[in-house]
Copies of this chain bind each other. A is one copy, B any other.
């Protein structure tokens, strides 16, 4: 074991607000432990596509990534957003290095099968190169991963940032005690969706079953918790679901 590691997924609400981003990066940069940041694109990619006159195409609420959409996604995710975060972390004394999955081939993916729905340039994670991440971490660098991977055949692929975060956390569990933190716009898993303070502090599998049976957890939260338990089953020490603004405190739901 090489010690502990925190894999932190930044929510879209952080990327969409300059003030929230500054506060989030203040806390992230001040963390003393080894950590990896994962981010998606927020609304900027959609806004840029609108300005470029690219029509969003959705199937079952999921975006179809055609070639033009891929160009915008890679430009915005791996370009502007990733480098903005890296520069802001550097200004805070955190020696960040921005990576797409193609860089050092750190995340290999395969294009999603074209049936039943052809989502275009969308990748499913196949492998994470933990030796490259270990090299960077052990030399004092903080990897900042964006939601872009590649297929090792020269094609870049748009890839869900939550999946990248959990894939990296699972893979790094081979050499580290890993905490995976999902930051989003709520304070955690809530007993009462109308009450932001009704955070359930700790959920284990029996409680999750109870909460599902009683209808307490919302439909949108069930896949998040399913993914959290899948990460635990794959060796991740614990998963934390919390508000981006609470990165520096203990408010949130621990799944373990």
Contacts and interface: CB of A to CB of B under 8 A. Distances in A.
Interface string A45-79: 00010011100000000000000000100111111
Copy tally for this chain in the complex stands at 2
A86 B103 contact: yes
Central interface residue in A71, A75, A84, A97, by most chain B CB within 10 Å? A75
Contact of A78 (B48, B71, B83, B141): B83
A148 interface: yes
A139 B84 CA distance: 27
A87 B100 CA distance: 10
Contacts of A84: 74, 156
A139 B148 contact: no
Contacts of A148: 83
Nearest to A105: B90
A93 B74 CA distance: 22
A126 to B, nearest CB: 14
A166 interface: no
Given A88-B154, A150-B90, A83 B71 contact: no
Contacts of A103: 83, 86, 96-98
Nearest to A154: B91
Contacts of A154: 87-88, 90-91
A148 B90 CA distance: 15
Central interface residue in A48, A87, A98, by most chain B CB within 10 Å? A87
Given A78-B78, A95-B105, A96-B103, 16 more contacts: A48-B52, A51-B53, A75-B76, A75-B79, A75-B80, A77-B79, A79-B79, A79-B80, A83-B156, A86-B100, A86-B102, A87-B150, A87-B156, A90-B154, A91-B152, A98-B102
